[in-house]
Amino acid sequence: MAVSLIDVRQAAAMPGLDKDTPVGVIGAGTMGAGIAQVAAAAGHPVKLFDSQPGAVGRALERIGTSLERRVERGRMEASARTAILDRLTPATHLEDLSDTGLVIEAIVENLAVKQQLLARLEKIVDTTAILASNTSSLSITAIAGALTEPSRCVGMHFFNPAPALPLVEIVTGLATSKATAATAQATATAWGKQPVRAKSTPGFIVNRVARPFYGEALRLLQEGAADPATIDTVMRDAGGFRMGPFELMDLIGLDVNYAVTSTVYAAFYNDPRYTPSLLQKELVDAGRLGRKSGQGFYAHGDAATAPTAKLAAPAPKPAEIELHGDAGLLAPLVAASLAVGAVAASPWA
């Protein structure tokens, strides 16, 4: 079921959902709030539903605060912020989503719960409505398997934070229709995102490629090689990553990150490369989920102190560094050393 270039071209020519079409977002946590903001900013009326009392209210507050910050920094007109907030409506019952043309679920990463939700939703929305899942790793084929009409189910995998990050993986299961995938792709484009197509393989593209980033960092920690702040600092400052693995896991949510690893591990028949970390499980069991719970690998919140990396103590400058052969990747280091007069590097000196 490879996606042909023709499918992708057809999708590019396909119009996305009309802006007047109401969009439903289920799950008002980290991702649901962000996705709701993106859809409302693109002009859709958005209905936000969560099974936990108070969750939608808190999500709307968070969206309001983040938009307010943008206005204060001169990045958004106050009128645009008001218009976005006006388009966001809390939904008290799932039935309130009956007039939506696209529903994106961003609830707990659990196959049975997602299947149950979408099967219920299928009976509420119109037969033409698209049912999308923001799952990070669960099979879209399996989620859709619970539906009477699985062709209308597609993955729309946004990245965290959804309002800021452009990538959206449009994930097709075995039964996803071309029209469903094309509309999801065109809608993501109309929302200012950069969609890519992926088949419903474990972890899709990004989460598959990213597994070793988290997994090896957790193994290093478990082996006592270095602490989280040191590993993060090395990856960020020397490795060129925007965030280190531990600060990224704290942002994602340790429960979500652990669930994704467990799913990918199981989906590949317990391939040891994807073995979940006991250390991470311990934190999840303790409710230390990262930023959203105030504590993960790091403490978060106003009173939290910034962690410090254990870097090598400054040492006296060597009088001379001798290098033999081609400097290769070290060439910039040699040039920098020479520029500050710190060393006379041989044979370049």
Residues found near ligand NAI in the complex (CB under 6 A): 26-32, 50-52, 55, 106-109, 113, 117, 134-136, 157-160, 252-253, 256, 292
DSSP state of 105: E
Catalytic residue from among 109, 122, 133, 136: 136
Work out how close the CB of 330 gets to ligand NAI at its nearest, in angstroms, rounded to a whole number.
Answer: 37
Work out how close the CB of 144 gets to ligand NAI at its nearest, in angstroms, rounded to a whole number.
Answer: 15
| CB closer to ligand NAI out of 56 and 130 | 56
169 annotated active-site:
yes
| CB closer to ligand NAI out of 236 and 292 | 292
Of 267, 228, 222, 221, the closest CA to residue 109 belongs to 267
Catalytic residue from among 169, 200, 247, 337: 169
| CB closer to ligand NAI out of 11 and 28 | 28
Burial of 133: CB neighbours in 10 Å, binned 0-12, 13-18, 19+: buried
Catalytic residue from among 207, 257, 277, 337: 207
The answer to whether 46 and 40 have CB atoms below 8 angstroms apart is yes
d(CA 67, CA 79): 11
Work out how close the CB of 53 gets to ligand NAI at its nearest, in angstroms, rounded to a whole number.
Answer: 9
Work out how close the CB of 109 gets to ligand NAI at its nearest, in angstroms, rounded to a whole number.
Answer: 4
136 annotated active-site:
yes
Peptide bond before residue 90 is cis, with ω within 30 degrees of 0: no
User: What does residue 292 show for φ and ψ, rounded to 5 degrees?
Assistant: -70, -20
93 annotated active-site:
no
The H-assigned helical ranges of 223-340 are: 228-233, 245-252, 254-267, 278-285, 331-339
Work out how close the CB of 107 gets to ligand NAI at its nearest, in angstroms, rounded to a whole number.
Answer: 4
| CB closer to ligand NAI out of 55 and 154 | 55
Of 179, 104, 184, 174, the closest CA to residue 140 belongs to 174
| CB closer to ligand NAI out of 15 and 287 | 287
The answer to whether 91 and 49 have CB atoms below 8 angstroms apart is yes
Instruction: Cite the active site residues.
Output: 136, 157, 169, 207
